[in-house]
Amino acid sequence: MKLLRVGAKGAEKPAIIAEDGSIRDLSGVVSDIGGIALTPEGMARIRATDIDLLPRLDAGERIGPCVANVGKFICIGLNYADHAAETGAKIPDEPIIFMKATSAIIGPNDDVIIPKNAIKPDWEVELGIVIGKEARYVDQDNALDHVAGYCLINDISERHFQTERGGTWDKGKGCDTFGPIGPWLVTTDEVPDPQNLGMWLEVDGKRYQNGSTRTMIFGIAHVVSYVSQFMSLQPGDIISTGTPPGVGMGVKPEAVWLKPGNVMRLGIDGLGEQTQNVRAYGA
């Protein structure tokens, strides 16, 4: 299933993509795409619904973040061997965990705002894991049983804030609008091999990132299991799993940073595409 949320900010309706490509209203089935709706029981209720009988929604409406009321927005740093190499960083012995503020979350095609005093805004196409069943101290063999689905994420970063303002990556990761997610949450049955997905990102039509989830250092099952050793995971939590090479800070001979007027496009096989216009704060 491809689940999404459609409508104005703060007034999104839960929806599903029908076989004919139309968008159907799930409001009569679940209250939203998040929390209890993402549990095995919630997913079973959606699957038991005759989608063709649901009302159609306007395909031209805004698409919101594909998960509502995200409890935790967790990220894994330096999780692609080829990305670690381009940044000159040592491949980590264990997954690097940091948090992205949930207030950073926006829809997949909403504007991205460069924050005040930003110097080095950057992009990162990433695969997102959406939790569907509570996970606490799970082992790798059972980790994927706790996943409801996957989504596309742009883990936008301000590198000056991240690395030159006293440490703690969260400063450069959690700015408002720095977390576009969606367009869809794609359930696990439609993603048979999440470790073999092509992913790409362009800025103003120039392709900078062109990678694959094959080059992850720590795979999806490892990541879910590992994070669950340090904090419980609840339905609707999101884990962003790292980015392949081609970020702005890795461009040679000189880094490239986002600026007002840029347009980012990005996508992952089977998970859809995003497009964001970049604006200055207050513009």
CATH code of the domain covering residue 199: 3.90.850.10
Annotate 12-65 with three-state secondary structure: CEEEEECCCCCEEECCCCCCCCCHHHHCHHHHHHHHCCCHHHCCEECCCCCECC
Q: Which domain holds residue 21?
A: 2-57
Quick one: how far is CA 9 from the chain centroid?
Answer: 18
Q: Which residues contact 234 (CB under 8 A, 6 or more apart)?
A: 35, 71, 72, 131, 134
User: Does 62 fall in a domain?
Assistant: no
Q: Give the model's pLDDT for residue 88.
A: 77
User: Does 63 fall in a domain?
Assistant: no
Q: Give the model's pLDDT for residue 196.
A: 97
198-239, pLDDT tens digit by residue? 999 999 999 999 999 999 999 999 999 999 999 999 999 999
- Which candidate, 117, 75, 82, places its Cα nearest to that of 97? 75
Q: How far apart are CA 160 and CA 63, in angstroms?
A: 31
> Do 20 and 133 fall within a single domain?
no
> Do 10 and 141 fall within a single domain?
no
> Do 34 and 149 fall within a single domain?
no
> Do 209 and 265 fall within a single domain?
yes
Structure token digits, residue 60: 């031209």
Q: Give the model's pLDDT for residue 63.
A: 98
> Do 141 and 273 fall within a single domain?
yes
> Do 238 and 263 fall within a single domain?
yes
Count of domains for the chain:
2
**Residue 77 neighbours by CB distance under 10 Å:** 19
> Do 264 and 160 fall within a single domain?
yes
Residue 87 in this model has a pLDDT that exceeds 80: no
> Do 36 and 148 fall within a single domain?
no
> Do 188 and 137 fall within a single domain?
yes
> Do 97 and 159 fall within a single domain?
yes
User: Does 68 fall in a domain?
Assistant: no
